[in-house]
């Protein structure tokens, strides 16, 4: 069964002039579910901001293994079904082998290779990281694709086993979400004092 991947979310916010210049996205991250008919518990929210060719990812994901590093990647398809496996493999439009975000691109890494996130003793990964050569704009935009957290640490392609060169040998997928675009609209509604609406459309 294909999971519907269109979500419309409205919230009232205000932006500074510098925030308005940045391209922004958001992913609501859910615990992986084998049965698409079961509820998908919310595990966290991740915000994506691109400014001056730097992608900043911030937010948190809960329900992880305490104290462990977890592989963190953008996957090719915006579908969270079938234990996040419907998202298919890492986003890799250039057909490269797997690597880490600090390694040369495009020679050694997938566009979607974001390395690892560290879970706390409470099983929560608090994320605030900057990445280059992956973003929300251009021909390789990650809008509409899935962000996936894996059960194990990503070996960044250095593990010496076949899976190192494709997945970082990071194991099963434990949480995932779809990266939607945040769009600013000027709207006037009764009792809202002409607040600005943010619309996240996930497709």
Q: Among the options 24, 26, 70, 75, which is catalytic?
A: 75
Q: Among the options 24, 26, 90, 96, which is catalytic?
A: 90
Is 2 tagged catalytic? no
Q: Among the options 73, 96, 109, 145, which is catalytic?
A: 73
Is 90 tagged catalytic? yes
Burial class (CB in 10 A: 0-12, 13-18, 19+), 120: middle
Q: Among the options 113, 154, 155, 181, which is catalytic?
A: 113
Q: Among the options 24, 70, 145, 150, which is catalytic?
A: 150
Is 70 tagged catalytic? no
Beta bridge partners of 83: none
Whole-angstrom Cα distance, residue 94 to residue 123?
Answer: 34
Q: Among the options 70, 98, 145, 181, which is catalytic?
A: 98
Q: Among the options 24, 96, 173, 181, which is catalytic?
A: 173
Is 150 tagged catalytic? yes
Is 173 tagged catalytic? yes
Whole-angstrom Cα distance, residue 61 to residue 59?
Answer: 7
30 touches 43 (CB < 8 A): yes
Task: Using alpha carbons, list the distances in angstroms from residue 133 to 75, 109, 124, 142.
Answer: 15, 10, 27, 11
Q: Among the options 24, 70, 110, 145, which is catalytic?
A: 110
The four Cα atoms 42, 70, 102, 161 give a dihedral, to 10 degrees, of -130
Question: Containing H/E element for 20?
Answer: helix 17-21
Active-site residues: which are they? 73, 75, 90, 98, 110, 113, 150, 173
């Amino acid at each position: 069964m294909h999971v519907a991947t269109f979500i419309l979310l409205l919230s009232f916010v205000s932006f500074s002039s510098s925030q308005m210049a940045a391209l922004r996205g958001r992913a609501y991250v859910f615990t992986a579910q084998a049965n698409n008919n079961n509820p998908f518990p919310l595990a966290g929210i991740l915000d994506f901001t691109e400014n001056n060719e730097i992608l900043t990812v911030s937010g948190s994901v809960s329900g992880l293994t305490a104290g462990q590093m977890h592989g963190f990647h953008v996957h090719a398809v915006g579908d969270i079904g079938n234990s996040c496996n419907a998202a298919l493999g890492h986003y890799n439009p250039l057909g490269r082998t797997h690597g880490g975000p600090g390694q040369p691109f495009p020679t050694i890494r997938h566009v979607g290779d974001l390395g690892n996130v560290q879970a706390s003793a409470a099983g929560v990964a608090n994320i605030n990281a900057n990445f280059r050569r992956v973003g929300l704009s251009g021909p390789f935009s990650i809008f509409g694709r899935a962000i996936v957290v894996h059960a194990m640490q990503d070996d960044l392609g250095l593990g010496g086993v076949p899976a190192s060169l494709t997945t970082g040998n990071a194991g099963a997928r434990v949480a995932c979400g779809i990266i939607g675009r945040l769009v600013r609209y000027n709207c006037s509604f009764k009792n809202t004092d002409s607040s600005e609406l943010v619309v996240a459309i996930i497709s």
